[in-house]
Structure 1
Amino acid sequence: MNNALDVKVGLKTLLVFLRPYRRQIIFALVALVITAGTMLSVGKGLQYLIDEGLTSGSQAGLNKALLVFMGLVFVLGIGSFCRFYLVSWIGERVVADIRQSVFAHLLTLSPSFFEDNSPSEIQSRITADTTLLQSVIGSSLSIALRNSLMLVGGIAFLLVMHFKLTLILLACVPLVVVPVIFFGRRVRRLSRNSQDEIANVGQYLSQALRHIKVVQAFGHEDHDVTRFSGAVDKAFTVSVKRIQQRSWLTLMVILLSMSGIGVMLWFGGKSVISGEISPGDLASFLFYSVIVAGAVGAVSEVMGDLQRAAGAAERIMELLKAKSDIVGGTLAYSETTTDDQAQREEGKVLIEFDQLTFCYPTRPDRPALHQLSFSIKQGEMVALVGPSGAGKSTLFELLLRFYNPQHGHIRLANQDIRQYSLSALRQRFALVPQETVLFDQSVAENLGYANREASQKAIQQAAEQANAHEFIVRLDQGYDTRLGEDGVRLSGGQRQRIAIARAILKDAPILLLDEATSALDAESENTVQAALEPLMKGRTTLVIAHRLATVLNADRIVVMDKGEIVDQGTHAELLERCALYKRLADLQFNQAGR
């Protein structure tokens, strides 16, 4: 009972994806009913062929019976073609829709979700689990429905033909159904475990291949092979347990159903010998008995697939039901003030951090920021400096609303940023992250990520400003060269210049530069700095820098340590009064002078 309920729940979750294709489903069901009905009619055609053709001794009767039989076969073939095509199409289309919906939903979730849920494991759900659903929707479900119809129809024919023999046959049905329920429950549990273990294998494989240079640099190949083999063997062990349960299920179904047919043949043979029924009746009865037994066996076999599909649907729906803890407001940026011109004037406070306290979800007892407050004026260039872990990058992540602070507020143009829609808020910022993210697409597509409507000329101009054009044109296919996953074909400095060009192309009023030149050589750094200076003019710029030499000309330098502001001022002012800043400056400039 629980198995049927689990399957029902699993199928119910898919109903929303099936609804748009009601017409195709109706046609598929019509084809399914026709094929099931025709298959059942073949039994009567077989009876007619034997009694009216073979045993009658009439050539004309044989010809007529054979034509009827072949006509049924033709209808069965055409109906099966239509059923298979429509059901398979529905399966492929629904799974494509599920993948698109899951991916679109995942992109709305906050980064904290992916700290608790591995992207590799999620990838397994979108690929392996949806492939299983495709198999069930496009095949197993159709088989289950068709065989259920044939089971009911076959039993109906049997009852009409010979009530006594049918009762003998039906007496064996509970003996088949009970093992199906017993083993089916185990199959579903082991199927979920098997899918989880396969996901773990995929996760480990993805991590090792993505970081192959680190693996090889540390001579870690043998150790990783051993660990991967352990993960594979664990998945294999769980799969073998599931296979054993399904094998026992198949064995019990075959033994019990075929034994029932054997008993039925013994009784039926006695009836033919006594003249109670004709040979055609017995052949037809045997045909329907095989149909019924085969239907029971097929349904029991498919139940295992439906149980697995229920587990896969459950895993997929977990993703679709996940809620983001970052919810955007309704304001567009232009709605926040009645005097846009005044808001753009130099000297007006544009960004304000008010008593911010924030802990990352994975470190709830260690504040990354603690009661931090300061403001940034329109057009001002503010540099954030301090040791690693001071909370500098965290400010950027809060500004972009990747996370929400536990206490305090961030205001943009006098409005709490939670009031803005996420797209309107993030459209105001151009980010150059510390770790450059590039996609396995062409150079032009990676640059165009900032602005999908940008022309080829605008893309090239942005690359030239970021000192990237020269190395791009030297690539195999220039701007059409694919960069590989994570931009593996480029050096660190080249990747960073692509990221800077992308930020230039976005042309947002607020620049967020997180160690934007950290991977550049001195010559490239000077060139990029020269390109950034006119870009920053008239824009509000926040710069995170470990190299103090890159921010000496900042309007204000904010020194941070352990999530708090230690001091703020110009370079000269901080050298006089801030011990932490002076220590950082002495370390860098003294080392540079050696």
Structure 2
Amino acid sequence: MFRWFESLIDAFKEPVDGMPPQSVWRFYVFYLRQVWPVFAAALVVGFGVALVEVSLFGFIGSIVDMAKGAPVRDFFRLHGNQLLWMGFVALIARPVLIGLHDLLVNQAIVPNLTNRIRWQNHRYVIRQSLGFFQNDYAGRIANRIMQTSGALRESAVQIVDAIWYVAIYTGSAIVMFAKADYWLAVPLIVWLVAYVATLRYFVPRTKERSWRQSEARSRLMGRIVDGYSNILTLKLFAHTQREEQYVADAMGEQIKRMRAMTRLTTAMDATITTLNGFLIVGTSALALWLWSQGKVTVGAIALSTGLVIRINNMSGWIMWVINGIFENMGTVQDGIETISKPRTVQDRDGAMPLEVTEGGVRFEDIHFHYGKKGGVISGLNLTVRGGEKIGVVGPSGAGKSTLVNVLLRLYDLEGGRILIDGQDIAQVAQESLRAQIGVVTQDTSLLHRSIRDNLLYGRPDASEAQVVDAVRKARAEEFIPQLVDGEGRAGYDAHVGERGVKLSGGQRQRIAIARVLLKDAPILVLDEATSALDSDAEAAIQDSLEVLMRGKTVIAIAHRLSTIARMDRLVVMDKGQIVETGTHAELIARGGLYARLWQRQTGGFVAAEDTAEDSALA
């Protein structure tokens, strides 16, 4: 039975690949309409539960009147059928309906809807551009993905539960009171008007303050995670107190927002409690007075006093439910600000996979400035023939890494185009583009998973023999068997820590090189591929890199000019332009920028007037 209800909602249903709505109402509808049959069933069952609950109070009044109006010896004979019906409702109908309600909510909705929303939001966000993640805290993004789903599901369930309780309890109470005597319904109607007015005043303010509180909580989470993620920097610069203050500022803001929220909650609670006191006293006093005038029965007194006490308890519950609904809506609104943002880099409609035959790359009059005025790359033209190996050098800020970023389409060009074997990369599927390019970056980071999992990122279907061969070629076979993590996993099963912090820089770089060796893509980008290796280690894998580059189109960026001096052609960049091109020997003979950079790295004298121009390389 549990499994059947748990299968009603598929948590991993493929989402529609589009931006979630940016308005709160449409955001709710976007996800709830996917599971509307389950919510409709919960709404119907909730209606039944509310009717049963109200009928129990009606039974109390009926029993009092039946007991007063019939002789003791004839009581069961006269009212037996009615009593059996009351017993059926209390012993069978009520448990069945409540159990069905719990199965729908706890087995179908709570785990599956919550995680479907998380899954679909994660699927959308993970396809955002690189700039999206660079402009926010990773911890805050993750926090909003996690808390938005729970808040949406909880408030939706609360709305379903609250609708019938409010409608059935108050509606039935007014009808039953009026049936006994119209005057008996007056206190309840007055209370209802005052109750609605109270909620109308407090609820919008609750939503606003909840949103502010959620925003402050997300900021606090982001700062805490940022500190943990950069714990080495924090310790190296001995700024523990500075980091504490940075988090304390965010925590102080979060406390301020929370206090504003709790003040409102306390004021609302006090107001509702006062109104409830007037309802209980007014209804009970009026019922007793009407009984003293012979206008209502004793059963009506039992019914009215019992029901208003239940309404008193329910009104407090409804207050917290509505407060919770709008508090959760504020959390959802906070999440929407992160989740529902358009992707700046998207596949075009009908984008086809990239097909690489020769691996030729052509940059045609490209322009890119990261959205800033001037700078980076303006009007650059470069052709790399299939199988050609070029080295890219130049001062910091020359645009070398930007050239790689736009080739990988981590950002869209502002002008011009990039062609691979005649295909505009803006017109092909991003995944297929990056699948055809192997990259070893300067800042190598690994996933907090096993060595094997990190290697298989290069080729998930690789055999064990292929993995071992790639490790051998990258000269990583010496240290991997010696690795043991904190949970006793060793060798290829050892976990490397967040971003690979348990490995040295050289070890991380060798794993990254092995991963690209395993990928075996036709186009290869080496962005400081050996920067983390000492001279002996660099020399040890140089032969493997040359094997890796054989038959591939290679674009290599390096600080150490000696590592790219043997390339087919060198391209020298400065201020977003290509200022020199040629072989190592040709550029040395020319005596230009490259020659001065080479002289500096090989220990030659650099004139003072050249120092500013030839700043450190990126």
1:138-537 correspondence to structure 2 within 5 Å? 138-139=157-158, 141-329=160-348, 330-333=350-353, 344=358, 350-361=360-371, 364-476=372-484, 477-537=490-550
CA distance in structure 2 between the partners assigned to 1:591 and 1:521 by the alignment:
22
CA distance in structure 1 between the partners assigned to 2:297 and 2:210 by the alignment:
48
AA partner of residue 58 (structure 1): V
Shift of 1:14: 2.0
Q: Tell me what 1:3 maps to.
A: none
Q: Any gaps of 5 or more consecutive residues in structure 2? A: 1-22, 485-489, 606-618
Q: Tell me what 1:547 maps to.
A: 560
AA partner of residue 468 (structure 2): Q
1:43 aligns with 2:61: no
Contact 2:380 2:577 in 1 (8 A): yes
AA partner of residue 354 (structure 1): E
Contact 2:376 2:397 in 1 (8 A): yes
Contact 1:140 1:305 in 2 (8 A): no
1:81 aligns with 2:94: no
1:51-130 correspondence to structure 2 within 5 Å? 51-53=65-67, 58=72, 61=75, 69-74=86-91, 75-88=93-106, 89-130=108-149
CA distance in structure 1 between the partners assigned to 2:232 and 2:347 by the alignment:
40
CA distance in structure 2 between the partners assigned to 1:54 and 1:240 by the alignment:
54
Shift of 1:331: 4.8
AA partner of residue 432 (structure 1): V
Q: Given the two structures, how large is their TM-score scaled by the length of structure 2?
A: 0.87
CA distance in structure 2 between the partners assigned to 1:377 and 1:58 by the alignment:
106
Contact 2:441 2:529 in 1 (8 A): yes
Contact 1:552 1:571 in 2 (8 A): yes
Q: Tell me what 1:4 maps to.
A: none
Shift of 1:385: 0.9
Is 31-40 or 315-324 further displaced after alignment?
A: 315-324
CA distance in structure 2 between the partners assigned to 1:522 and 1:59 by the alignment:
107
1:573 aligns with 2:591: no
Q: Any gaps of 5 or more consecutive residues in structure 1? A: 1-8
Deviations 1:120-146 (A, max 9, x none): 222221122323223323446424443
CA distance in structure 2 between the partners assigned to 1:290 and 1:416 by the alignment:
73
Shift of 1:116: 3.3
Shift of 1:294: 4.0
Deviations 1:363-384 (A, max 9, x none): x124211221111011111011
| DSSP 3-state at the match of 2:526 | strand
Is 129-138 or 464-473 further displaced after alignment?
A: 129-138
Over 3 Å counting, the alpha-carbon distance change for 1:162 and 1:409 in structure 2 is same
| DSSP 3-state at the match of 2:496 | coil
Contact 1:130 1:312 in 2 (8 A): no
Shift of 1:11: 4.7
Shift of 1:262: 0.8
Is 61-70 or 306-315 further displaced after alignment?
A: 61-70
AA partner of residue 86 (structure 1): L
Choose between structure 1 and 2: higher helix proportion.
1
Contact 2:47 2:164 in 1 (8 A): no
Contact 2:227 2:234 in 1 (8 A): yes
AA partner of residue 239 (structure 2): H
Over 3 Å counting, the alpha-carbon distance change for 1:583 and 1:57 in structure 2 is farther
RMSD (Å) for aligned C-alpha atoms: 2.3
AA partner of residue 253 (structure 1): I
AA partner of residue 89 (structure 2): L
| DSSP 3-state at the match of 2:38 | helix
Over 3 Å counting, the alpha-carbon distance change for 1:54 and 1:446 in structure 2 is farther
CA distance in structure 2 between the partners assigned to 1:60 and 1:432 by the alignment:
93
Shift of 1:466: 1.2
Contact 1:144 1:302 in 2 (8 A): no
Over 3 Å counting, the alpha-carbon distance change for 1:220 and 1:153 in structure 2 is same
| DSSP 3-state at the match of 1:390 | coil
CA distance in structure 2 between the partners assigned to 1:61 and 1:202 by the alignment:
66
1:562 aligns with 2:575: yes
Shift of 1:242: 0.6
Over 3 Å counting, the alpha-carbon distance change for 1:552 and 1:575 in structure 2 is same
Shift of 1:238: 0.6
CA distance in structure 2 between the partners assigned to 1:155 and 1:488 by the alignment:
68
CA distance in structure 2 between the partners assigned to 1:158 and 1:60 by the alignment:
29
Is 140-149 or 72-81 further displaced after alignment?
A: 140-149
Contact 1:150 1:291 in 2 (8 A): no
AA partner of residue 414 (structure 2): Q
Contact 2:354 2:428 in 1 (8 A): no
Q: Given the two structures, how large is their TM-score scaled by the length of structure 1?
A: 0.91
AA partner of residue 179 (structure 2): V
Deviations 1:284-321 (A, max 9, x none): 12233334444444333322222223223333444453
Identity within the alignment, % = 28
Over 3 Å counting, the alpha-carbon distance change for 1:130 and 1:331 in structure 2 is closer
Contact 2:279 2:308 in 1 (8 A): no
| DSSP 3-state at the match of 1:159 | helix
AA partner of residue 387 (structure 1): P
Contact 1:190 1:238 in 2 (8 A): yes
CA distance in structure 2 between the partners assigned to 1:441 and 1:261 by the alignment:
62
Q: Tell me what 2:610 maps to.
A: none
Over 3 Å counting, the alpha-carbon distance change for 1:221 and 1:159 in structure 2 is same
Over 3 Å counting, the alpha-carbon distance change for 1:406 and 1:258 in structure 2 is same
Shift of 1:40: 0.9
CA distance in structure 2 between the partners assigned to 1:71 and 1:556 by the alignment:
90
| DSSP 3-state at the match of 2:213 | helix
CA distance in structure 1 between the partners assigned to 2:495 and 2:170 by the alignment:
56
CA distance in structure 2 between the partners assigned to 1:202 and 1:247 by the alignment:
26
Contact 2:399 2:573 in 1 (8 A): yes
Is 310-319 or 211-220 further displaced after alignment?
A: 310-319
| DSSP 3-state at the match of 1:565 | strand
AA partner of residue 177 (structure 2): L
AA partner of residue 215 (structure 2): D
AA partner of residue 568 (structure 2): D
Contact 2:436 2:521 in 1 (8 A): yes
How many corresponding residue pairs?
Answer: 572
Deviations 1:478-508 (A, max 9, x none): 1111112111211111111111111111111
